[in-house]
Amino acid sequence: MFWQVHDVGGWGWFAMAAGMIFFWAVIIALGVLLYRAWARPGGSSDRADNRPLEPPPEQILAERFARGEIDEDE
Protein backbone atom coordinates (compact mmCIF):
# COMPACT_ATOMS: atom_id res chain seq x y z
CA MET A 1 0.00 0.00 0.00
CA PHE A 2 1.31 3.46 -0.86
CA TRP A 3 4.94 2.52 -0.22
CA GLN A 4 6.19 4.41 -3.24
CA VAL A 5 4.04 7.54 -2.85
CA HIS A 6 6.00 10.24 -1.03
CA ASP A 7 4.22 13.25 -2.47
CA VAL A 8 1.91 15.47 -0.47
CA GLY A 9 -1.40 16.27 -2.12
CA GLY A 10 -2.93 19.71 -2.64
CA TRP A 11 -4.53 19.82 0.81
CA GLY A 12 -1.22 18.84 2.38
CA TRP A 13 0.49 21.84 0.82
CA PHE A 14 -2.34 24.08 1.95
CA ALA A 15 -2.14 22.73 5.51
CA MET A 16 1.63 23.24 5.59
CA ALA A 17 1.32 26.81 4.27
CA ALA A 18 -1.45 27.68 6.74
CA GLY A 19 0.53 26.12 9.57
CA MET A 20 3.63 28.13 8.67
CA ILE A 21 1.65 31.38 8.53
CA PHE A 22 0.02 30.59 11.87
CA PHE A 23 3.40 29.72 13.43
CA TRP A 24 5.04 32.99 12.35
CA ALA A 25 1.96 35.02 13.36
CA VAL A 26 2.19 33.58 16.89
CA ILE A 27 5.95 34.26 17.08
CA ILE A 28 5.51 37.87 15.89
CA ALA A 29 2.58 38.47 18.26
CA LEU A 30 4.60 37.20 21.22
CA GLY A 31 7.49 39.44 20.22
CA VAL A 32 5.23 42.48 20.00
CA LEU A 33 3.63 41.71 23.37
CA LEU A 34 7.01 41.26 25.04
CA TYR A 35 8.31 44.49 23.52
CA ARG A 36 5.24 46.43 24.67
CA ALA A 37 5.55 44.99 28.18
CA TRP A 38 9.22 45.88 28.49
CA ALA A 39 9.00 49.27 26.74
CA ARG A 40 6.18 50.55 28.94
CA PRO A 41 7.30 53.78 30.64
CA GLY A 42 7.46 53.39 34.39
CA GLY A 43 7.33 49.62 34.26
CA SER A 44 4.68 47.75 36.21
CA SER A 45 4.97 49.94 39.33
CA ASP A 46 2.34 52.32 37.92
CA ARG A 47 -0.32 49.63 38.11
CA ALA A 48 0.60 48.55 41.62
CA ASP A 49 -0.70 51.80 43.13
CA ASN A 50 -4.19 51.83 41.61
CA ARG A 51 -4.34 55.34 42.98
CA PRO A 52 -5.85 57.95 40.63
CA LEU A 53 -3.62 60.92 39.91
CA GLU A 54 -6.52 63.38 39.85
CA PRO A 55 -9.61 63.48 42.04
CA PRO A 56 -12.83 62.34 40.36
CA PRO A 57 -14.98 65.04 38.73
CA GLU A 58 -17.69 64.69 41.37
CA GLN A 59 -15.19 65.57 44.09
CA ILE A 60 -13.96 68.62 42.16
CA LEU A 61 -17.54 69.84 41.74
CA ALA A 62 -18.28 69.25 45.44
CA GLU A 63 -15.19 71.26 46.45
CA ARG A 64 -16.10 74.12 44.10
CA PHE A 65 -19.67 74.10 45.43
CA ALA A 66 -18.38 74.18 49.01
CA ARG A 67 -16.15 77.16 48.23
CA GLY A 68 -19.06 79.00 46.62
CA GLU A 69 -17.54 79.13 43.14
CA ILE A 70 -20.62 77.50 41.64
CA ASP A 71 -24.22 77.28 42.72
CA GLU A 72 -26.67 74.38 42.62
CA ASP A 73 -27.98 75.30 39.16
CA GLU A 74 -24.53 75.14 37.57
| Residue 3 binned pLDDT confidence (cut-offs 50, 70, 90) | low
Rg (CA), the chain: 30
How far apart are the C-alpha atoms of 28 and 34, rounded to whole Å?
10
Does residue 35 contact residue 29 with C-beta atoms inside 8 Å? Answer: no
pTM of the predicted model as reported, rounded to 2 decimal places: 0.46
Q: What is the pLDDT of residues 10-66, one digit of tens each?
A: 788 899 999 999 999 999 999 999 999 998 776 555 555 566 688 888 888 899 889
Residue 45: in which H helix or E strand, if any? helix 45-49
**One-character DSSP codes across 13-35:** HHHHHHHHHHHHHHHHHHHHHHH
Please state the domain extents for the chain: 8-43
Instruction: Give the per-residue pLDDT at 9.
Output: 75
